[in-house]
Structure 1
Amino acid sequence: MEHLGRHVIIELWGCSDVINDAALVENAMRNAVDAANATLLNLFVHEFSPQGVTGVAVLSESHLSIHTWPEHGYVAADVFTCGSTTKPRAAAEVLRKSFQAETVDIRELERGVMPPQTQPQAARELVNVR
């Protein structure tokens, strides 16, 4: 097993005012889920007063979340998927276009990667929180 999932962190800067419209954010999220070839189970979007929108899409493959700061033209998004049929990076392009972002920073993490068993126990930093 190489990894169980991929987690794409998306930073969008210089976004248009659409990031303050819950209906437009919801539409962008639905399009991003489709582009990622994921299966939407549930979607919740909340519009804050006086500004800002947060959305969470629960996927069969994991989740997509969005948080907007219209006063900064900024959107923080992440797409976490498991399985071999999803394309979480494709969601980033949909969000870039939907929010008309001027600058995009994308980082990808492989999730569910077992630490090497050859390392001494003291060298590994595994924390169990109770």
Structure 2
Amino acid sequence: MAGCAASHPWMTQPDTLRAACLQAVARVGLQTVGERFHGFEPAQGHQTAGVTGVVLLAESHLAVHTWPELGVVTLDVFVCNLLSDNAERAQMLLDQLVAGFEPQQQARQAIRRAIPDAAST
């Protein structure tokens, strides 16, 4: 995503971004099993610094990286579909977080991965 406001709290405040991510995960019905968010120190000549965070899910993970000095955010939502199809939940999670960042531009890429049948290996 590009064109995100550097002043948006999610861009620079790890605790605020953590809370938003955990709420969104719960809202769509995925299960958090761990999380870690880290705020960086501003680079020389910059007033703000970004955040990197990950939410470990029973279904896989959510990763987010912010660059407030560039107005850029990357989101990665990965879910496994072994016992149930979580694709809709993953899409809802992504949609909620994208809307929250209010980007001026966004590009999305969806990759469907198949788990090989254990009986055939």
Q: Is this a same-fold pair by TM over 0.5?
A: yes
CA contact (8 A) 1:68 1:76 kept: yes
| Partner residue in 2 for 1:14 | 3
Identity of aligned pairs, percent? 32
1:29 counterpart = 2:21: yes
Supply the AA of the counterpart residue of 1:34: A
Partner deviation per Cα, 1:95-117 (whole Å, 9 max, x = no partner): 12221222222211011365xxx
- The equivalent of 1:109 in structure 2 is 111
What does 1:23-62 align with in structure 2 at a 5 Å threshold?
23-50=15-42, 51-62=49-60
Higher strand fraction: Structure 1 or Structure 2?
1
Aligned to 1:100: 102
Amino acid at match of 2:17: V
Specify which structure has the bigger relative contact order, considering alpha-carbon pairs within 8 angstroms and separated by 6 or more residues: 1
Distance verdict in 2 for CA 1:91–1:54, change over 3 Å: same
- Tell me how far apart the structure 2 counterparts of residues 41 and 113 of structure 1 sit (CA, whole Å): 22
Residues 26 and 55, structure 1, Cα contact 8 Å, conserved in 2: yes
Q: Which residue of 2 aligns with 1:122?
A: none
Gaps of 5+ in 2: 43-48, 117-121
For 1:52-111, what per-residue CA distance to the aligned partner results, in whole angstroms no more than 9, with x for missing partners? 100011100000000111111111110000123421111122112221222222211011
Count the aligned residue pairs: 103
Q: Which runs of 5+ in 1 are unaligned?
A: 1-11, 115-130
Q: Secondary structure at the match of 1:103?
A: coil
What is the alpha-carbon distance in structure 1 between the residues aligned to residue 80 and residue 98 of structure 2? Answer: 22
